Structure 1
Amino acid sequence: MKILLVRLSSMGDLIHTLPAISDLAQHCPDVELHWLCETSFADIARLHPFVKRVHTMSWRTWRKNLFQAATWQEIGSLKTALRNENYTQVLDSQGLIKSAAFAKLARAPIVGLDSQSARESFAAHFYQQAYAVKKGEDAIWRNRQLFAQAFDYTFDTAPNFGVILPPDAIGSLKNQLPEKYYIALHATSRDSKLWAMEKWLDLLTQLHQTDGLPVLLPWGNPTEKQRAEAIASKLPFAQVCPRVNLLEAAYMLANAHTVIGVDTGLLHLANAVNRPLVGIYTDSDPVKTGVQPSAWARNLGGIGQSPSVDEVVQAVQGCLKAFAKPI
């Protein structure tokens, strides 16, 4: 059975889908799974070895150039490629009109969330079979529930992201990284989700005073780079990272001593590669979109609830202690 998964974006949404793919691999190993996603997030899909092929689309670019012939040629090429695969079924796990429309390009029966469960209820009208999954729950659990219903199995295990870093994930980083380091994910997609600069400076200073480790500051655009440079200018042990791709970021996160970050895709990637981490939430609900909690992964704060520096320090110490404890 050849299945196309449609989960286009964003980074966190793709990462939250990985445990459901691990479930599918366990319960339905004969499935050949392909994934359609945004080009910029294709490396996330490639992190799971059960995904046999990744198809990409560029809606963020296409929508700005809908009146250009080249855009429709690219969409036409995608449609041809998908139809040539002769999929048995398409699973739209995103529940948007946009994702449902792209799912239809494959010309195969589509399944997804019902109108009460999907983020955009009208998307369910595109599906031949729709399933109810309770809203307001953890995103990973919702994905696992949808997959379980679509492929007729049950699960009772803890989530397993199933990530395996490919050899080319290292890139040019191998000889550039310190032997041991913290990563501070200071940047996010919305200013309201940022943590105050003075809190970052206080936190990182306290951590450095404890163990003397350097702190790496990743960035993804000029504004984020400026923020990283502002932190590094005040903390001599902080280093602004070179710009990295997603595979390199995964390698960097997978080798970190600890990761502390605001609500951003890289925080969820750190969760997927199983590092000790603390998520700082100030304007989003960690119950729905937080990192998957464990003995060494914690969420702090919430909507309108910015955690204190002391809370984060204590959480980091607790996560490190749990991670170091023999199983």
Structure 2
Amino acid sequence: MNVLIVRTSSMGDLIHTWPAITELKTHYPNIRLTWLAEESFADIARLHPQVAEVLTLRWRSWRKGLLRPAAWRELRELKRKLRDTHFDLVLDSQGLIKSAIPARWARAPLAGLDWKSARESLASLFYDKKHTVSRSLSAIDRNRLLFGLSFGYAPEGAPSFGVAAGERPAWMLSGRYAVLLHATSRASKEWPEARWIELGGELSARHDLVTVLPWGSDKEKARAERLAAQLPAAVVAPKMSLSEAAGLLGHASAVVGVDTGLAHLANALQVPLVAIYTDTDPQQTGVVETPWATNLGNVGQCPTTEEVMRALQARRDWT
């Protein structure tokens, strides 16, 4: 059976689809899975070992350049690829117009969320098979239930992301390190720089850990450099692909991060993790709490450095 999964963005949304992929392949190991994702997040789809092929689209780029012939050529090529490949079923787990349209291009039976369940209700009009999934559930539970309803099984047990860390980055010297994920999508989600400096100092003095500071934009790089200049043992990471970031996170002794997709990636790789929330509710957007991972904070709350250290030291495998 040849199946197309449509989940185009964002990073966290793709990571939250991994447990459903793992569970589906447990029930039906002979299914061949193709995943359609935004080009900038395709590495996340590729990290799952049960995904045979990843197709990419560039909605964001195409939307900005609809008058460019190159954009239309790329659109036609993707449409041709989807039309000419035989799929027995297409499952759009995103529930948006921008995901439902290319899902329909595949010309196969199309399953998705119903009018009340989809993030954009109009997307449900594109689907042949529509399923009800409560919007009060976490993203991971919603995906698992949608997959189960679409393929005829009931999700059971704790979620299994099914993804390994990959190789430790060659630029990272030997020894133990902690990754500080200081960058997030908006200022209201940030943790104060002074607390990152306190935390890095504690990790170095009490646990002999080097702190690693990733970044994704010039603004984030500048903050990483400011923090590193005030920390006793810190490394500003080079520009990394998502697969390289997975290697960095997967071999860390600890990860502390704000509300960002990389925190969910660390969660999936089962490293000791504390996720900090200052402007969002972790019940809705937090990491999956496990013996390795916990959430701190909430809307209008800002955890202290001491609270973060206590939570980190309570995680399994913390040394």
TM-score by length of 1: 0.95
1:221 CA drift (Å): 0.8
Q: Does 1:50 align with 2:44?
A: no
Q: What residue is the counterpart of 1:85 in the other structure?
A: 85
Letter paired with 2:108: A
For 2:17, the equivalent position in structure 1 comes to: 17
In 2, Cα distance between equivalents of 1:36 and 1:306: 37
CA-to-aligned-CA distance 1:22-69 (integer Å, 9 cap, x gap): 000001112111000011111111111111110000111111101111
Query: For 1:216, what is the secondary structure of its paired residue?
Result: strand
- What residue number does 1:211 align with? 207
Residues 1:253 and 2:249 aligned together = yes
What's the offset of the Cα at 1:236?
2.9
Partner of 1:124: 124
Q: Percent identity?
A: 51
When residues 236 and 310 of structure 1 are mapped into structure 2, their CA distance, relative to the original with a 3 A threshold, is closer
Q: Which residue of 1 aligns with 2:188?
A: 192
Q: Find the aligned partners of 1:156 and 1:95 in 2 and give their Cα distance.
A: 23
Write the distance in 2 (CA, Å) between the matches of 1:150 and 1:292: 24
Q: 1:253-272 counterparts in 2 under 5 A?
A: 253-272=249-268
List per-residue Cα deviations over 1:124-163 (Å, max 9, x = no partner): 1110111111112211111101101000101221111011
2:29 is aligned with what amino acid?
Answer: P
Distance 1:165 1:214 in 2: 19
For the 8 Å contact 1:281–1:303, the answer to whether it is kept is yes
Counterpart mapping for 1:1-327 below 5 A: 1-165=1-165, 173-319=169-315, 322-323=316-317
The AA in structure 1 aligned to 2:120 is E
TM-superposed deviation, 1:165: 4.8
Instruction: Provide Cα deviations, 1:280-316, integer angstroms capped at 9, x if missing partner.
Output: 0111121122111101200111111221222111001
Instruction: Identify if the C-alpha distance between structure 1 residues 298 and 180 changes in structure 2 by more than 3 Å, giving closer, same or farther.
Output: same
Question: 1:2 Cα deviation (Å)?
Answer: 0.8
Cα shift at 1:115: 1.1
Per-residue deviation at 1:4? 0.5
Determine the C-alpha separation between the residues in 2 that align with 1:105 and 1:177: 47
Aligned length: 319
Q: 1: CA distance between counterparts of 2:306 and 2:164? A: 34
| Residues 15 and 268 in structure 1, CA contact (< 8 A), matched pair in contact too | yes
The residue type paired with residue 141 of structure 1 is D
State the secondary structure of the residue aligned to 1:291.
Answer: coil
Asked if the contact 1:8/1:99 (under 8 Å) is kept, the reply is yes
Q: Mark the CA change 1:195 to 1:140 in structure 2 (over 3 Å): closer, same or farther.
A: same
**1:113–1:132 contact (8 Å) kept in structure 2:** yes
Runs of 5+ consecutive residues of structure 2 not aligned to the other structure: none
RMSD (CA atoms): 1.3
Deviations 1:191-246 (CA, angstroms, capped at 9, x unpaired):
11111111111122122221121100000110100110110111131211111111
Equivalent pair of 2:277/2:302 in contact (CA under 8 Å): yes
Please give the alpha-carbon distance, in whole angstroms, between the structure 2 residues aligned to 1:239 and 1:41.
25
Partners in 2 of 1:35 and 1:268 — Cα distance?
19
Shift of 1:176: 2.9
Q: CA 1:62–1:226 in 2, change beyond 3 Å: closer, same or farther? A: same
TM superposition shift of 1:175: 4.8
Kept after mapping to 1: 8 A contact 2:253/2:318 = no
- 2-side partners of 1:308 and 1:74: how far apart? 48
| SS of residue in 1 equivalent to 2:203 | helix
Check whether the contact 1:271–1:297 (CA below 8 A) recurs between aligned residues: yes
Whether the 8 Å CA contact 1:137–1:287 is kept in 2: the answer is: no
**Residue identity matched to 1:120:** E
- Residue 102 of structure 1 deviates from its aligned partner by 1.4
Q: Distance in 1 between matches of 2:173 and 2:180?
A: 14
Say which SS state the counterpart of residue 46 (structure 1) adopts: helix
Does the 8 A contact of 2:272 with 2:318 survive in 1? no
Q: Distance in 1 between matches of 2:36 and 2:165?
A: 20
Structure 1 residue 174 displacement after superposition: 2.2
TM (normalized to structure 2)? Answer: 0.97
